[in-house]
């Protein structure tokens, strides 16, 4: 077994301090281990016509060996410099196919030995799927022919997948444009033994650059050279017969997007100067249109280095942004530009303007529409039908508009104006179809479109299909799910005229499977398409329900309650309870009190879930509501701590009133912002016997330009930053706390240092705590060895502090 040193600190019951322990990896008890060792059902993808189903298999977990690879952390990326692909990729290891009306999954032949598959890409005609296979030292191009169910390596080119998928299909489906490692790629420079030629100097010219706390930034000139080397590619055209030709010389390509008719391609390239303050997506970039023969047509945009941005979540770059192709026309670009200089503090009638740019892309752009809030996007239908949307984070408002692209602003009609946190009023998502260019456009019958909604209501969840006249906004009901013991998720139409719909149905004990449902007249029972089995039969007899309760101000809350199998709800033995939660900010109480949890969702335990402990004799309250509300000019965090404690007390009171628990033996836990919540609850209340906090941030002064949904900086809200930081009140935290963190956390703001410094503060104050650093792990944990040990640590903690076992 691999040996790793865990940085462990604990204050044992005897109050003797142990600085660290040398542990080998441990495994949790059998009840938990049996749920960990399961065979994962495949992922399923389908073509747009719902004819071919492709089943993608992968292991349930990675291993430490998977994580123990070379890695360079540059400009927000984590790259394996040997293979030239992200070091965090989760690979698939097998592919099977089946016709949707068939019954047998067919094994794809010709797969590489020990497949490590990623970057799947359908051809425009949906007859092929290209993908990459990562060997021990390179990324290869492969293609699956769905007509033969056979795949093959297509080229000997070595692909560069450092900036995302290196594959783009030409529109004729006969060739692919790929990013390949340049022939003259320079050797990477090691920072370990290279002497610097001078100090690293950063300068402020007086401009405000209030950036969030990013990880993995460039740090010195060597990082710059290595990033440029790893980001640089040549573009090659590869034909399905395996022949290839160099298509474009070396550059730092980060986007290749063909026009709907395939005659033009918009290419985005990164340029110098780089930055030590922001990630690569804010480096200078140039957007150029070429024809399908690589001839330059026009440069349409240049975005300079964007270190300085106005403050606020609604801040954007002031220049042209968001270039893309209109999906309803052969070759028309559209883009957005802020009318408020990208600054939310500037008061204007319209925030954004959307322009179009037609062939030959050298004339002045044409104004299409103006939006009063920040543009969210456009769904294209045809020459006279489109849907625009905008939103504003500070008010949580979202609007959708119908407009006629041939007329523009004068045709704008408001279709929806709502708080996007208000799930009960969600009108649903527009259904799309493929047009003559193979692009997704709004599916229309005359002026009518279809909306598929999740269907959350105060009475429960009832997914629906509505038909809407997009010129009048009038809605009519087409279908409403009637299940009260299952969940039916509506995917898409198979045939709108026949009324056939692809749906997914599950229950608390039935694994999600796909079905075909026929709606309208002559409707029948849904026909099952897949048959995935429940791998967690040990949980089938566990009692599961969503409980509703109120906190002291009358706000309605919910949580998913689990009782051990065989628990007698009449005798009501009082058991210890584990509560797991994650706070969420709202701007109105109505949205905060809505129920969006369905007890009929399949019970799927994972490493981050507390459900395992229902098999160990605990009551579990998962996904407990923890809304933090700030209405009007009041911000949610202005009363974060009181609301946090009120939420927790209401949850414990509710389960205690049912008679199931000993309220003196309740644990609380959470991950990331849930860990931050946990530390604050242990500090500012006496409700809990212990807690588990994973990969959290505990000192908000280390994220001074905002965190989570807080957009005020530290100097604007010092009291709030300080009061919300459990690090600042470490002397007041007396409940036992298990801190866990990944050694290589890559999440903005949750540096591993956060847990290390908080642990040192607690240890220095003589508080009962234990710190576990999981080797090689990022913000989410993936290696089976680490996950098993994590569950052992948590189980040991609960047994010690809830059941009193030493």
Catalytic annotation, residues:
672, 745, 779
Q: Are 374 and 316 in contact (CB under 8 A)?
A: yes
Query: Of 64, 19, 26, whose CA–CA distance to 771 is shortest?
Result: 19
Phi, psi of 701 (to 5 degrees): -70, -15
Q: How far apart are CA 470 and CA 665, in angstroms?
A: 55
3 state SS of 335: strand
Alpha-carbon distance values, 576 to 608, 644, 691, 801 (Å): 19, 21, 13, 10
Q: ω before 360 within 30° of 0 (cis)?
A: yes
Q: How many CB atoms within 10 Å of residue 39?
A: 10
- Exposed, middle or buried, 448 (CB in 10 Å: 0-12/13-18/19+)? middle
Instruction: Return the structure tokens found at 470.
Output: 């997009």
Q: ω before 273 within 30° of 0 (cis)?
A: yes
Q: Which residues contact 347 (CB under 8 A, 6 or more apart)?
A: 340
- Tally DSSP H helices, then E strands, for the chain: 9, 51
Q: Is the dihedral of CA 221, 227, 230, 232 positive or negative?
A: negative
Instruction: Return the structure tokens found at 429.
Output: 């998502």
Question: Backbone dihedral region of 558: left (phi > 0), alpha (psi from -120 to 50 degrees) or beta?
Answer: beta
Instruction: Return the structure tokens found at 590.
Output: 């109505």
Q: Which residues contact 150 (CB under 8 A, 6 or more apart)?
A: 108, 109, 110, 144
630-651 burial, b if ≥16 CB within 10 A, otherwise e? beeeebbbeebbebbbbbbebb
3 state SS of 632: coil
Q: Are 325 and 257 in contact (CB under 8 A)?
A: yes
Q: How far apart are CA 378 and CA 300, in angstroms?
A: 20
Q: Which residues contact 709 (CB under 8 A, 6 or more apart)?
A: 313, 585, 636, 637
Q: Are 624 and 590 in contact (CB under 8 A)?
A: no
Q: Are 11 and 21 in contact (CB under 8 A)?
A: no
Q: How far apart are CA 299 and CA 285, in angstroms?
A: 11
**The three-state (H, E, C) secondary structure of 160-216, written as one string:** CECCCCCEEECCCCCEEEEEECCCCCCCCCCCCCCCCCCCCCCCCCCCCCCCCCCCC
Phi, psi of 754 (to 5 degrees): -60, -45
Alpha-carbon distance values, 446 to 255, 469, 538, 755 (Å): 35, 9, 52, 58
Query: Of 722, 600, 621, whose CA–CA distance to 670 is shortest?
Result: 621
Q: Are 253 and 312 in contact (CB under 8 A)?
A: no
Q: How far apart are CA 641 and CA 625, in angstroms?
A: 15
Phi, psi of 490 (to 5 degrees): -90, 120
Q: Scanning the structure block, which residue is given the tokens 């890409």?
A: 121
Q: Which residues contact 195 (CB under 8 A, 6 or more apart)?
A: none
Instruction: Return the structure tokens found at 494.
Output: 């198979």
Q: How far apart are CA 686 and CA 664, in angstroms?
A: 9
Q: How far apart are CA 377 and CA 592, in angstroms?
A: 26
């Amino acid at each position: 077994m691999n040996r790793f040193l865990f940085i462990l600190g604990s204050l044992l019951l005897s109050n003797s301090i142990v600085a660290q322990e040398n542990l080998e990896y441990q495994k949790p008890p059998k009840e938990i281990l049996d749920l960990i060792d399961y065979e994962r059902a495949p992922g399923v993808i389908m073509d747009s016509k719902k004819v071919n189903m492709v089943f993608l298999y992968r292991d349930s977990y990675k291993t430490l060996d998977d994580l123990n690879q070379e890695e360079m952390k540059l400009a927000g990326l984590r790259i394996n410099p040997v293979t030239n692909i992200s070091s965090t990729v989760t690979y698939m290891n097998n592919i099977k196919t089946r016709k949707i009306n068939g019954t047998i999954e067919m094994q794809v032949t010709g797969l590489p030995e020990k497949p490590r598959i990623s970057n799947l890409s359908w051809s425009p005609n949906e007859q092929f799927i290209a993908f990459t296979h990562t060997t021990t030292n390179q990324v290869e191009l492969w293609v699956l022919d769905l007509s033969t169910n056979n795949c093959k390596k297509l080229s000997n080119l070595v692909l560069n997948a450092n900036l995302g998928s290196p594959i783009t299909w030409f529109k004729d489906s006969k060739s692919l444009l790929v990013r390949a490692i340049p022939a003259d790629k320079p050797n990477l420079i090691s920072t370990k033994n290279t002497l610097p030629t001078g100090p690293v100097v950063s300068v402020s010219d007086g401009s405000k650059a209030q950036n969030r706390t990013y990880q993995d930034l460039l740090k010195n000139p060597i990082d710059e050279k290595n990033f440029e080397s790893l980001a640089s590619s040549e573009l090659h055209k590869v034909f399905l017969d395996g022949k290839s030709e160099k298509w474009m010389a070396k550059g730092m390509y980060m986007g290749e997007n063909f026009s709907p008719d395939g005659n033009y391609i918009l290419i985005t390239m990164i340029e110098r100067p780089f930055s030590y303050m922001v990630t690569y997506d804010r480096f200078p970039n140039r957007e150029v249109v070429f024809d399908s023969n690589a001839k330059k047509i026009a440069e349409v945009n240049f975005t300079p280095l964007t270190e300085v941005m106005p403050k606020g979540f609604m801040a954007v770059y002031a220049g042209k942004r968001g270039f893309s192709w209109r999906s309803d026309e052969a070759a028309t670009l559209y883009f957005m530009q802020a009318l408020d200089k990208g600054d939310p503090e500037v008061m204007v009638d319209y925030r954004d303007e959307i322009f179009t740019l037609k062939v030959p892309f050298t004339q002045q752009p044409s104004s299409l529409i103006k939006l009063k809030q920040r543009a969210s996007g456009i769904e294209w239908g045809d020459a006279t039908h489109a849907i625009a949307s905008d939103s504003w984070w500070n008010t949580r408002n979202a609007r959708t508009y119908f407009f006629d692209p041939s007329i523009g602003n004068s045709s704008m009609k408001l279709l929806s104006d709502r708080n996007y946190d208000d799930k009960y009023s969600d009108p649903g998502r527009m259904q799309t179809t493929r047009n003559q260019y193979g692009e997704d456009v709004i599916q229309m019958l005359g002026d009518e479109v279809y909306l598929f909604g999740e269907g959350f209501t105060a009475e429960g969840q009832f997914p629906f299909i509505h038909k809407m006249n997009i010129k009048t906004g009038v809605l009519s009901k087409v279908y409403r799910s009637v299940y009260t013991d299952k969940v039916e998720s509506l995917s898409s139409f198979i045939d709108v005229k026949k009324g056939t719909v692809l749906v997914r149905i599950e229950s608390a004990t039935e694994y999600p499977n796909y079905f075909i449902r026929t709606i309208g007249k002559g409707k029948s029972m849904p026909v099952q398409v897949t048959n995935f089995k429940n791998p967690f039969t040990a949980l089938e007899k566990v009692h599961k329900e969503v409980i509703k309760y109120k906190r002291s101000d009358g706000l309605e809350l919910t949580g998913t309650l689990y009782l051990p199998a065989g628990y007698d709800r009449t005798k009501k033995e009082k058991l210890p309870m584990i509560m797991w939660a994650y706070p969420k900010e709202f701007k109105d109480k109505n949205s905060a009190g809505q129920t969006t949890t369905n007890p009929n969702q399949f019970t799927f335990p994972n490493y981050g879930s507390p459900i395992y402990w229902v098999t160990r004799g605990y009551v579990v309250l998962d996904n407990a509501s923890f809304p933090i509300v700030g209405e009007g000019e009041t911000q949610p965090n202005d009363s974060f701590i009181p609301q946090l404690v009120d939420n927790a007390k209401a949850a414990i009171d509710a389960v205690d009133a049912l008679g199931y628990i000993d309220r003196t033996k309740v644990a609380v836990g959470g991950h990331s912002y849930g860990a931050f919540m946990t530390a604050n609850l242990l500090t500012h209340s006496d409700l809990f016997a212990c807690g588990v906090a994973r990969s959290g941030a505990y000192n908000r002064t280390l994220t001074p330009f905002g965190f989570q949904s807080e957009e005020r900086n530290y100097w604007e809200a010092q009291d709030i930053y300080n009061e919300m930081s459990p690090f600042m009140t470490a002397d007041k935290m007396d409940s036992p706390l298990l801190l866990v963190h990944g050694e290589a956390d890559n999440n903005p703001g949750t540096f591993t240092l956060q847990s290390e410094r908080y642990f040192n503060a607690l240890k220095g104050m003589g508080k009962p705590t234990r710190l576990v650093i999981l080797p090689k792990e990022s913000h989410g944990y993936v290696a089976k060895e680490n996950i098993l040990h994590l569950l052992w640590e948590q189980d040991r903690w609960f047994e010690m502090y809830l059941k009193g076992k030493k």
